[in-house]
Each structure stands twice: as structure tokens, then as C-alpha cells.
Structure 1
Amino acid sequence: MVLGWLLLLGMALPPGTTGTKNCLFCELTDSLSCPGIPMNCGNDEDCFTGQGTAPGLSPIINKGCVQSSSCGREEPVTYQGVTYSLVSTCCYGNLCNRAPVPAGSRPVGTPTGLALGVLLLRGL
């Protein structure tokens, strides 16, 4: 019975609340596709996606870990000889800075895990 409660609690917690935070990393790029490489963040860091703009040019992006105090800040970065204004948007769960998930979809395994937890609680 206790195992069922623990399983259900583990499935109900938001990602990133149960241990080391993992984020995706990718260098500054002007490509809209930035799949990223998994990396571990420090205790005082959050995942971020940075979007940079410069007048008359396509935007740039990057991803990774950043000090919590830098979230939402605008700073200049140089990419291919051009200075962009980069704003870092932070998020707070494991791999939360991956590509956006289509509306209405859920992480794989969540419904199955919750159903299994309920069955364990009921003793079936």
C-alpha cells in the first residue's frame, strides 16, 4: 500500500522537483532548430532559453543553465560579428527548455503510471 502511494506521489510531482535538474544546451545559433545536448545544472541554476534580436536580422537562440539571478535579464551578445540583445527566459523542471510540446499532448508514460498507482492503491 505504501509503495502505491509513493508511486502515485512520484507521478504527480512536477518534473524537476525530485533531484538534479537537467537542461538542454545549445550554442548561439540563427537556426530555429536547436535540439540541444542534455546537461546538469548547479543548485542555484535554472534552465533557460535565450532569444536574441538585432534590427533587420533574423533572431538567434541558445539554451542551457543560468544563475537564477540572471533570469529575465536582457544582455548584449555577439554572434557572427553582430551585437544582439539577448533575453533569457527561465523554466523550472527537468529538460523544460526543450522544444515546445504541441498543445493537448502529455509526457509519455504519465497516464499509464497514474493508472498503475491507482491500481496499487486499490490493492488490485
Structure 2
Amino acid sequence: MVLGWLLLLVMALPPVTTGAKECIFCDLTDSSDCTGIPMTCGDNEDCFMGEGTAPGLSPVINKGCMETTSCGNEEAVTYQGVTYSLISTCCDGELCNRAPTPAGSLKVGATTCLALGVLMLLQ
């Protein structure tokens, strides 16, 4: 019974933060599939995803860490000899700039954990 209460308590607590934030890094690319690699940001940085556009061409993207004060700014970047207008959008949270999670997958995991906790309490 105590184990069930502890499981429910752990699920209800917010994750512990250390000040350092993990984000996904992906160099400038014209591929829409940019899974990237994890990187650690500095204290005054947020995760970002940048999307660059140029007339008549497919967009380019990049991901990583960025100074919070630079979020939302537009800048010119050159990729394969073409100048793109890149706008970076920041997000808050661990790995928030990763590829989207399939719909429902987090909900299923949380529901399963909750059901297991209730079953343990009933024993």
C-alpha cells in the first residue's frame, strides 16, 4: 500500500531542474526530418527552432540553444549559396524543440502509470 502512495506522489511531483536545459541541436538543413542530437544550454538560453524561407525554395530549419533575448528575431543566413530569412522561435522545457511526439503516446503512458498506482492502493 505504501508503494502505491509513493508511486502516485512521484508522478505528481514536477521534474527537478538543475538550471541547465537539454535541447536538440540540428545544423542548418533543407531536410524536414531533423532529429538532431541532445545538447546542454547555458543559464540564459532557451531551446529554439529556426525556419528560414527564400522565394521559390523549400524552407530550411535548424535547432539548438539561443540567448533568450534573441528569441523571435529575424536574421539572414546563407545555405548552399542562397540567402534565407530565418526566424527563430524559442520554447520552454526540456527537449521542447524535438520532433513532435505522436498524438496520444504520452497520455497512454500516464494512464497506465495511474492505473497501476490505483491497483497497488487497492491491494
Q: TM-score, normalised by structure 1?
A: 0.78
Residues 48 and 91, structure 2, Cα contact 8 Å, conserved in 1: yes
Call closer, same or farther: CA 1:114–1:5 in 2, change over 3 Å.
closer
Partner of 2:16: 18
Tell which deviates more after alignment, 60-69 or 92-101: 92-101
Residues 46 and 90, structure 2, Cα contact 8 Å, conserved in 1: yes
Cα RMSD, aligned residues only = 2.3
Structure 1: distance between partners of 2:42 and 2:116: 33
Partner of 1:43: 43
Structure 2: distance between partners of 1:107 and 1:41: 28
Call closer, same or farther: CA 1:55–1:111 in 2, change over 3 Å.
same
Mapping of residues 66-85 of structure 1, within 5 Å? 66-85=66-85
Q: CA deviation at 1:100?
A: 1.5
| SS in structure 2 of the partner of residue 106 of structure 1 | helix
Q: Which has the larger radius of gyration?
A: 2
> Residue type matched to 2:41 in 1?
C
Q: CA deviation at 1:8?
A: 3.0
Q: Which runs of 5+ in 1 are unaligned?
A: none
Q: Which runs of 5+ in 2 are unaligned?
A: none
- Of Structure 1 and Structure 2, the greater helix share is in 2
Give the number of aligned pairs: 118
Q: CA deviation at 1:51?
A: 0.3
